[in-house]
Amino acid sequence: MAKTELIKADVLVLGGGIAGCYAAINARERGADVVLVDKGSLGRSGFSCMISGVLHHFDPGKDDYDGLFRESVEAGEWINDQKWLEATIKESDNRIREMDKWGGHVSERGGETHTKTG
């Protein structure tokens, strides 16, 4: 019979992709005891590893918000939640900068922001 271990935490995060890791770090910074559970190695299972080290975001100093919003809505064939899309676009630059502070190794090359691997 397998041994069972009881682990107590304030926050349980399911999934070690970008969103899960972000949630875990953010909760820990706010003082919570955090447990993160993933089906594989952090950042190497699920969808996160498919972005191949490239994470696009909206740069308010360089990018056209209206054009990006329109393009995203059209690509989603008008079924995406537009209020959520608006919040996601507007917050993306702040989240990229925050991940950089955490050691996410975000850099800019040729006017575009790139994540470094390794």
How many domains is the chain built from?
2
22 assigned to some structural domain: yes
83 assigned to some structural domain: yes
- For 2-52, the pLDDT digits (tens) are 899 999 999 999 998 878 888 999 999 999 999 999 988 776 666 666 665
Q: What DSSP string describes 79-104?
A: -S-HHHHHHHHHHHHHHHHHHHHTT-
> Global pTM?
0.61
Query: What's 116's DSSP letter?
Result: P
Do 36 and 69 belong together in one domain?
Answer: no
Cα–Cα distances (Å) from 106 to 73, 100, 115, in that order, read 27, 5, 4
Which domain covers residue 64, as residue numbers? 55-105
What number is the average pLDDT over the span 91-107? 76
| Residue found by looking up tokens 């304030």 in the block | 10
Asked whether the beta carbons of 38 and 12 are under 8 A apart, the reply is no
